[in-house]
Structure 1
Amino acid sequence: MLDHMTFRVSDIAASKTLYEQALSPLGYRLAYDGVHDGQRVLGFGVQTAEGLKIDTWLVNQKEPVTTACHLCWRADSTSQVDAFYKAALAAGGRCNGAPGLRAHYHPNYYGAFVLDLDGNNIEAVCHTAEAETVASAH
Structure 2
Amino acid sequence: MIDHTGIPVSNWASAQAFYDAAFAPLGIKLLSIVPEQFTGGVKVGGYGRTKPDFWLNESGETGPGRHYAFTASSRAEVDAFYAAAIAAGGRDNGAPGPRPHYHENYYGAFVFDPDGNNIEAVCHAPE
Question: Which segments of 5 or more consecutive residues in structure 1 lack a partner in the other structure?
Answer: 47-51, 131-138
- Supply the AA of the counterpart residue of 2:117: N
Q: Which residue of 2 aligns with 1:115?
A: 112
**Count of matched residue positions in the alignment of Structure 1 and Structure 2:** 124
TM-score (norm 1): 0.86
Shift of 1:22: 0.7
Question: For 1:129, what is the secondary structure of its paired residue?
Answer: coil
TM-score (norm 2): 0.93
Shift of 1:115: 0.5
Q: Supply the RMSD in Å over aligned alpha carbons.
A: 1.0
Q: Which residue of 2 aligns with 1:3?
A: 3
Q: Which residue of 1 aligns with 2:51?
A: 53
Q: Which residue of 1 aligns with 2:67?
A: 70
The partner residue of 1:41 within 32, 41, 44 is 44
Provide, for residues 1-26 of structure 1, a one-character-per-residue CA deviation record: whole Å limited to 9, x for no partner: 11111111001101001111111111
Question: For 2:96, what is the secondary structure of its paired residue?
Answer: strand
The partner residue of 2:89 within 81, 89, 92 is 92
Shift of 1:66: 4.2
User: 2-side partners of 1:61 and 1:106: how far apart?
Assistant: 35
Q: Which residue of 2 aligns with 1:13?
A: 13
- Supply the AA of the counterpart residue of 2:95: A
Determine which structure has more spread, i.e. the larger CA radius of gyration. Answer: 1
User: 2-side partners of 1:33 and 1:106: how far apart?
Assistant: 36
Question: Which segments of 5 or more consecutive residues in structure 2 lack a partner in the other structure?
Answer: none
* Structure 1 residue runs of 4 or more that deviate by more than 4 Å after TM superposition: none
- Supply the AA of the counterpart residue of 1:5: T
Question: For 2:32, what is the secondary structure of its paired residue?
Answer: strand
- Supply the AA of the counterpart residue of 2:22: A
CA contact (8 A) 2:78 2:122 kept: yes
Shift of 1:33: 2.4
